[in-house]
Each structure stands twice: as structure tokens, then as C-alpha cells.
């Protein structure tokens, strides 16, 4: 099974940068995903890491260190529409996803 | 239809009643999944299907059953609903159950309340 930890809540100012950390303990690792979920909506895919290092996609970047069981999602130039929950998910050796409880990010003007 | 649809959007159900949540995808994805999402617990896998005709148990399968008669449909049945099954249920699909950046796409969810 998986044990996935991420902070419950974070608050930041519009235009700022926020880093959401995710640590995991896994019985088998086959990739790490980040999803965004606005209140009352479905999760949507943001990023995928399977090798160590940084993946950049516009204002969002995701980092992975497999040896440390650690990932982060970096949100730059925050906008009000970025207020949402961010879910860290680890795929195991059976290709099943296990999700963390999510980090609610609130962007203030 | 575009993507994944779920029905109903929301439902209030008396304890002990039988309920089927419907999920249909039009992307011809092989793999489909059912999750429940509860506050503070995140998404938890109930059942999955890697391909039509096969199903498997996830993390929290008790009290639920699924079937996969064809590629597009993956209904979830609660045989006798209990209040602890009050949750938001998400159906998801992916092109395969294999490796790579094989993203899961989620339906809009069904909000179920069992009284």
C-alpha cells in the first residue's frame, strides 16, 4: 500500500509562488501524478513524473526525488483561478493510483 | 457525449435500498475505475476494470459491486446502502492500465447521501 502526506491548507497572494510538498512511502513505485480539483468539480490532470527531476509546464512545475520519496508542485504567478485543491497521487507496481488527502490552496488578492 | 458522464448527479437514498450509479465513457478507454471521496481522506479506489469483462477490488470494495459488460459502461451497485456510504463518487477511465503518462480522466461525480 501507499502512505501519502501533503499539507492540508496553504494560503498565498496573487502573483506569488507556492510550493506544495508531497511525501510518500510505497511498496512499489510507477510514477507520481498531480491533479487539480476545484470545489464541486472533478479532478483534472496537471503533471506526471516518473524519473527524478523537474518537469515544467507553463506556470506549473513538478519535481520528483524517488530516493527521498518526495515530490513538490510549484505554482508560479498565482492567479485567483488557482484557488483549488491539489492532489498528489502515486501509482504502484499494479498501476493503481493512491491519492493523498489533498492540499487546499487559497489565493488572496 | 464527450468524455465521461455519470448519473445521477446527486441522490438521497434511504438506508437498506439498492442503488446503481452509472458511468459511461466515449473515449474507448480500456481501463475504468470507481473512487469515493470523503473529506480529509482523499480519493479511495473502490473497484476497477482493466478491460471489458474483467474487474478487480480496490482499497474499499466492501458493500459495492461492479460489472463491465462492454468498453463504455461501468456501473457501480450498492446492494443495501448504509449511511457510511454517504460520499461523492467519481468514475474515471484511462487508455490502458499500463505504464507511461497514462492519465486517468474523471467524470463529474455523483453526490450520494444515505439516510
Q: How many Cβ atoms from other residues are within 10 Å of residue B94's Cβ?
A: 21
Q: Which of A71-75, B26-30, B38-42 has the highest mean pLDDT?
A: A71-75
Best B38, B39, B43, B99 residue to mutate vs chain A (most A CBs within 10 Å): B43
Is the preceding omega at residue B8 within 30 degrees of 0, hence cis?
yes
Query: Going by DSSP bridges, is the β-strand pair B76-78/B64-66 parallel, antiparallel, or unpaired?
Result: antiparallel
A51 close to B (CB below 8 A): no
Computed over every residue of chain B, the mean pLDDT equals: 93
Band of the pLDDT at B37, cuts 50, 70, 90?
very high
Q: Which residue of A has its CA nearest to B88?
A: A40
Question: Do A43 and B43 count as a contact with CB atoms less than 8 A apart?
Answer: yes
B97 close to A (CB below 8 A): yes
Query: Going by DSSP bridges, is the β-strand pair B76-78/B19-25 parallel, antiparallel, or unpaired?
Result: antiparallel
The answer to whether the CB of A18 falls within 8 A of the CB of B18 is no
- At B96 the pLDDT is 73
Q: Average the pLDDT over A66-88 and give the result.
A: 97
Beta strands per DSSP E along chain B: 4-7, 10-13, 19-25, 31-38, 42-49, 56-57, 64-66, 76-78, 87-94, 105-106, 110-114
- At A72 the pLDDT is 98
Which range among A42-46, B39-43, B53-57, B108-112 shows the weakest confidence by mean pLDDT? B39-43
State the smallest CA–CA distance between residue A60 and chain B in angstroms.
17
Three-class DSSP labels, A36-95: EECCCCCCEEEEEECCCEEEEECCEEEEEECCCCEEEEEECCCCHHHCEEEEEEEECCCC
Q: How many CA atoms lie within 13 A of B69 on its CB side?
A: 6
Residue B1 has pLDDT above 70, yes or no: no
CA distance B7 to B21: 6
CA distance B90 to B109: 4
* φ/ψ of residue B17, rounded to 5: -80, 155
Computed over every residue of chain A, the mean pLDDT equals: 94
Q: Which residue of A has its CA nearest to B96?
A: A95
Amino acid at each position: 500500500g501507499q502512505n501519502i502526506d501533503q499539507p492540508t491548507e496553504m494560503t498565498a497572494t496573487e502573483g506569488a509562488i507556492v510550493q506544495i510538498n508531497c511525501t510518500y512511502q510505497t511498496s512499489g513505485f510507477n510514477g507520481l501524478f498531480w491533479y487539480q480539483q476545484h470545489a464541486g468539480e472533478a479532478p483534472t490532470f496537471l503533471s506526471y513524473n516518473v524519473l527524478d527531476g523537474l518537469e515544467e509546464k507553463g506556470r506549473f512545475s513538478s519535481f520528483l526525488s524517488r530516493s527521498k520519496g518526495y515530490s513538490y508542485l510549484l505554482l508560479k504567478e498565482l492567479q485567483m483561478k488557482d484557488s483549488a485543491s491539489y492532489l498528489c497521487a502515486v501509482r504502484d507496481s499494479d498501476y493503481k493510483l493512491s491519492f493523498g488527502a489533498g492540499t487546499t490552496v487559497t489565493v488572496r488578492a | 457525449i464527450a468524455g465521461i458522464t455519470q448519473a445521477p448527479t446527486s441522490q438521497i437514498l434511504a438506508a437498506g435500498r439498492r442503488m446503481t450509479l452509472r458511468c459511461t465513457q466515449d473515449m474507448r478507454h480500456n481501463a475504468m475505475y470507481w473512487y469515493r471521496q470523503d473529506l480529509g481522506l482523499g480519493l479511495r479506489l473502490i473497484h476497477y476494470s482493466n478491460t471489458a469483462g474483467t474487474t478487480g477490488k480496490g482499497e474499499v470494495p466492501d458493500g459495492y459491486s461492479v460489472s463491465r459488460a462492454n468498453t463504455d459502461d461501468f456501473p457501480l451497485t450498492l446492494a443495501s446502502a448504509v449511511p457510511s456510504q454517504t460520499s461523492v463518487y467519481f468514475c474515471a477511465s484511462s487508455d490502458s492500465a499500463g505504464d507511461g503518462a497514462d492519465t486517468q480522466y474523471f467524470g463529474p461525480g455523483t453526490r450520494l447521501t444515505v439516510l
